[in-house]
Structure 1
């Protein structure tokens, strides 16, 4: 029997295993697993909550479903009484995390950091209980380091070790510059763990180097080492690239319920289980039932996707909004109806206009080439009739409804 299991009664052993299974579920890697069990055991024995860290670089104010993967994991810890340490990198954010970047990132101003941090915290409150979050700004301790402290911190790692990072090594090999201040980003993120004596730090797999830095620095400063928990990156709606607003493949947590539901229904079938696993608040048992149902064929992918859409909308907008979004989707896409609340556009130009120009003028498609492709793919309708002729001249009248794809509709009002 391992030392950490000694003096535990059967109920305590079961509780250790229960919590471990919840936390380890859906992770890419737990480094090391044995230490996580030891920390859970110590927490139960001493009735002392674990300190679970997540560092945030407030480089942009928008939060999407991909960002919530680590937040959902933190919520699991929070639900079992552990302490969530949310660190806003107002100091490190001025440097910018070099992870995955081919050039140094633009340094943020104090005003940009403050604005983004506030927006983050408000949006994260949709996943976490904000009343039970310890919020820190790392400038509180990092700005007070003197030169001797910084030199001691820099002495904890070699340049060769830093250059093992793919982003640094690739830039070096291609002759692209690396500014000295960029080397300090992972060091400062790791130093946050030293100051806060974190027990566990969460991060996406692209944060592997930075999160392990905290574990190494804690050992360097004589602290108990944190466990690193790496979460998978969630692919976006295209099923290929990491979810990102810049790639237009995201579901924003502040999006309207019907938009959120509609986007969810476009997720590739093969990603559904991953979305359930990483992005929802369903219990482990419920997730397992969905997985087993899909694999055995007892649960139709369409029905599973409807459940996923309803779950995501319910999480961020409530039960009533989820039910309404599902009914709207059924009415529009399964019954061929047009939504009641489509936007109305005042049309003041020529009463007759080429369909390609119309679609671009209405900003339903970004360019004429996109409009041609959409028509060729059968994705444009005028008052329910599919447009097949790219040279069509459209006669505009009050109440004419233009539809693009499955979710974009505009009603014309001629003035």
Structure 2
């Protein structure tokens, strides 16, 4: 498209029409800025439906506005209007924002089985119902403990993207590592450290979550875990978030019930 084409396409919609998009309205109400290029996105996505002569467009519920712009353009071009098929948004591991790689709250379908399993075991109990619904197409079992229901969820997701054998092996390893609390012989992910490096407990734990498990946790979250006694080095609890820690090769460091590493 030439710049002239872009201008002509923009002339076919109004600013008032663009500002009807739900998240734009919310940001206006909250006195938050909207950048000019953001208004271009639904226009270009809508025109794409014309160019590919789309019959059906799939999207999350947050894409409804953009897809309807495409239907409007198709009608103006005397093309059959595409059918809109929307899916609910899957919340990320943090339980507050949609799952997104850029937000670091995602489970990657090409991730190692142990990482995928561990991430799914880290979700809150409140997220289990939507995860079961959107990922497995059913409700969580009510007759079992929430922890067992979470294991079943993680098992089936790993089974889908790896295999039944890999899922069973991952579950068995998880049970050894966490349920039986036997870390000495468990196959733990490695965390490399610089010999003699001293780090505040909060900084060290946050670093491990981020670098080993690809999880972003705030300092307040990590401080709370430490004060609760969740963090252990070789079985010894660390309760002071401000404590300076020096970890050595071969030590095991547990962050919470579901995440632990071996220092290398």
Whether these two folds match at TM > 0.5 is yes
CA distance in 1, matches of 2:147, 2:248: 37
Equivalents in 2 of 1:341, 1:175: separation in Å? 44
Q: Among residues 125, 129, 144, which one is paired with 1:269 in the alignment? A: 125
Match of 1:24 in 2: none
1:378 CA displacement: 0.8
**TM-score normalised according to structure 2 size:** 0.77
How far apart, in 2, do the equivalents of 1:150 and 1:393 lie? 58
Q: Is the 8 A contact 1:356 1:368 kept in 2?
A: no
Q: 1:336 to 1:204 in 2, by over 3 A?
A: same
Aligned to 2:262: 410
Determine which structure has more spread, i.e. the larger CA radius of gyration.
1
What does 1:3-402 align with in structure 2 at a 5 Å threshold? 143=1, 147=4, 150=6, 153-169=9-25, 174=31, 176=33, 178-179=35-36, 182-245=38-101, 247-280=103-136, 287-288=137-138, 291=139, 294=141, 297-338=142-183, 339-343=186-190, 345=192, 348-349=195-196, 356=200, 360=204, 363-364=207-208, 372-388=223-239, 399-402=250-253
Distance of 2:202 and 2:130 partners within structure 1: 39
- 269-278 or 334-343: bigger deviation: 269-278
RMSD of aligned C-alpha atoms? Answer: 3.5
SS of aligned partner of 1:229? strand
User: Per the alignment, do residues 363 and 165 of structure 1 end up closer, same or farther by CA in structure 2, a change over 3 Å counting?
Assistant: closer
CA spacing shift, 1:197–1:391, aligned 2, 3 Å: closer
CA distance in 2, matches of 1:394, 1:171: 43
Q: Say if 1:380 and 1:404, in contact at 8 Å, map to a contact too.
A: yes
1:341 offset after TM fit, Å? Answer: 4.0
Structure 1 unaligned spans of 5+:
1-142, 281-286
Contact 2:191-2:261 within 8 A present in 1 as well:
no
User: Cα offset for 1:210?
Assistant: 0.3
Where 2:89 maps in the other structure, the secondary structure is coil
Q: Structure 2 vs 1, CA of residues 230 and 356 (structure 1 numbering), >3 Å: closer, same or farther?
A: same
Instruction: Give the alignment's TM-score, normalised by structure 1.
Output: 0.52
Pairwise CA distance, 1:388? 4.0
Alpha-carbon distance between aligned partners in 2 of 1:359 and 1:158, rounded to the nearest angstrom: 49
* Distance (Å, rounded) in 1 between the aligned partners of 2:96 and 2:219: 26
Higher relative contact order (CA 8 A, sep 6+): 1
